[in-house]
């Protein structure tokens, strides 16, 4: 009887932990849209610029209209702070190509960027 009670207790505890994980993930998903904005750009806006800033052996792609629109609304001074970030490599971004995007979109780069 003791092993049956222990098994039931373990099953209930596992179900409760699983339920808490689901609640946590739902809360995280609900908060994600607010959390993903960096320097006034959403994840979707960053992704619109990724092909033009990607590390490749070929020539850089021109930024899309969506990318340029995103950069027009972005805080470029804030983005400059990320140019030496290790995250650039994680997301397959060439920092030099990324820094060229505002100029290609007809925007002035902030001083000391």
> Residues 30-85: pLDDT tens digits?
334 444 689 999 999 999 999 999 998 888 899 999 999 999 999 999 999 999 99
Cα angle value 55/58/60 (rounded, 5°): 65
| Confidence check: pLDDT of 18 > 50 | no
Instruction: Specify the higher pLDDT residue, 111 or 34.
Output: 111
Percentages helix, strand, coil for the chain (3-state, rounded to 5) are 65, 5, 30
């Amino acid at each position: 009887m003791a092993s049956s009670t222990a098994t039931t207790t373990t099953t209930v505890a596992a179900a409760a932990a699983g339920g808490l994980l689901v609640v946590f993930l739902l809360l995280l998903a609900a908060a994600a849209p607010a959390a993903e904005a960096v320097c006034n750009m959403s994840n979707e806006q960053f992704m619109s610029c990724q092909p033009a800033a990607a590390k490749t052996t070929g020539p850089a792609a021109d930024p899309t209209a969506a990318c340029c629109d995103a950069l027009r609304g972005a805080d470029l001074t804030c983005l400059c702070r990320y140019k030496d970030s290790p995250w650039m490599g994680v997301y397959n971004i060439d920092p030099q190509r990324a820094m060229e995007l505002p100029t290609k979109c007809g925007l002035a780069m902030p001083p000391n960027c």
